[in-house]
Amino acid sequence: MSETEQPSVLLDHPADGVARLTLNRPHVTNALSLELQALLSSHFSDLALDPQVRCILLTGGDRAFAAGGDISSMAGVGPIDIYQRHTERVWAPIQHCPKPVIAAVCGYAYGGGCELAMHADIIIAGESARFCQPEIRIGIMPGIGGTQRLVRAIGKAKAMQMALTGRPITAQEACIAGLVSEVVADEEVQNVALEQATLIAAMPPLAAEQIKEVILAGMDASLEAGLALERKANALLFASRDQKEGMNAFIEKRRPQFTGN
């Protein structure tokens, strides 16, 4: 249990098929302590295996997503200590989550907070949201995928500018650059994110998982290799009951009932 005597990550289920994870260290603007990271990792591991969960909503609340790593836990340690933390293992369940993940971002998404948001498949940002990789200002660099995911999301020129200056960009700038999916008023972020999570949760989960897998795998493949993955995944879905249900419902002009089979 954290110093606030509450879990550093809260889990609830605000809609059918939707699990919501809320970062819960508001007194330090949701700084990503080791405890928080471990708990987040554990939740993602469990939710990935839960057949009742079809979409995951990740948020820091209405004021801040996450203002970066917990600097106090890093200031006095050496390189071996940092290496032996194996953050890549802690974050692996988030990176490899097969289910769609939506991040609802208000306020700061700095450092590790920006890197965490980039693990999501869709980012809904409030007008107050700011995205930043400020690690260079304290003598280090992004260490949870920031240099790699950022350049894939917004290109070399913008990624270099963000990482080398440590300056934040606004939600609108992030949207134009391709980092953010949609910008809405701060008071609408949670509602819009939940609406989209609910919509996705109502879709056939096998199709959703295949779409996510093929898009992510195709990003690092040649066009021909990506197209081959797409063709095979699409053909595979024709073996599902949900494909039969979806097409029959379309022909019969009724609402489909997807079961995930």
Q: Where are the beta strands (DSSP E) in the chain?
A: 9-15, 18-23, 55-59, 101-105, 108-110, 122-126, 130-132, 169-170, 182-184
- What tokens does 3 get? 């110093």
Residue-wise pLDDT for 127-166, tens only, equals 999 999 999 999 999 999 999 999 999 999 999 999 999 9
Question: What pLDDT, on a 0 to 100 scale, did the predictor assign at position 2?
Answer: 43
Query: 110 and 151 in one domain?
Result: yes
Task: Provide the whole-model pTM.
Answer: 0.93
Q: What is the pLDDT of residue 3?
A: 47
Q: What CATH number has the domain bearing residue 99?
A: 3.90.226.10
- 111 and 17 in a common domain: yes
**Claim to verify: residue 35 and residue 92 sit in the same structural domain:** yes
* Separation of CA 171 from chain center: 16
Same domain, 115 and 19: yes
User: Does residue 3 form part of some domain?
Assistant: no
148 and 101 in a single domain? The answer is: yes
The pLDDT value given to residue 82 = 80
User: Do 163 and 215 fall into the same domain?
Assistant: no
Neighbouring CB atoms inside 10 A of 232's CB total 11
| Residue 245 included in any domain | yes
Residues of the domain holding 224: 205-252
Q: Rounded mean pLDDT of 235-253?
A: 95
> Are residues 103 and 176 both part of a single domain?
yes
Q: Rounded distance, CA 60 to CA 217, Å?
A: 28
Beta-bridge mates of residue 20: 12, 57
- Report whether 245 contacts 210 (CB < 8 A): no
Whether 4 maps to a domain, the answer reads no
Residues 56 and 73 in one domain: yes
Segment 99-119 shows an average pLDDT of 97
User: 63 lies in a domain?
Assistant: yes
Q: What is the pLDDT of residues 162-221, one digit of tens each?
A: 999 999 999 999 999 999 999 999 999 999 999 999 999 999 999 999 999 999 999 999
Same domain, 190 and 239: no
pLDDT at 168: 97
pLDDT at 4 over 70: no
- Asked which of 158, 183, 201 is the last residue of a domain, the reply is 201
Tell me, what amino acid is at 5? E
Same domain flag for 176 and 220: no
Q: Is 259 contained in some domain?
A: no
Over residues 70-97, the mean pLDDT reads 83
Number of structural domains the chain divides into: 2
Query: In this structure, what are the phi and psi dihedrals at residue 11, rounded to the nearest 5 degrees?
Result: -120, 130
Of 83 and 65, more confident: 65
Return all residues near 251 (Cβ < 8 A) that are at least 6 apart.
Answer: none
Is residue 20 assigned to a domain? yes
Domain shared by 157 and 247, yes or no: no
Looking at the predicted structure, is the pLDDT value of residue 242 above 70? yes
Q: Are residues 101 and 144 in the same domain?
A: yes
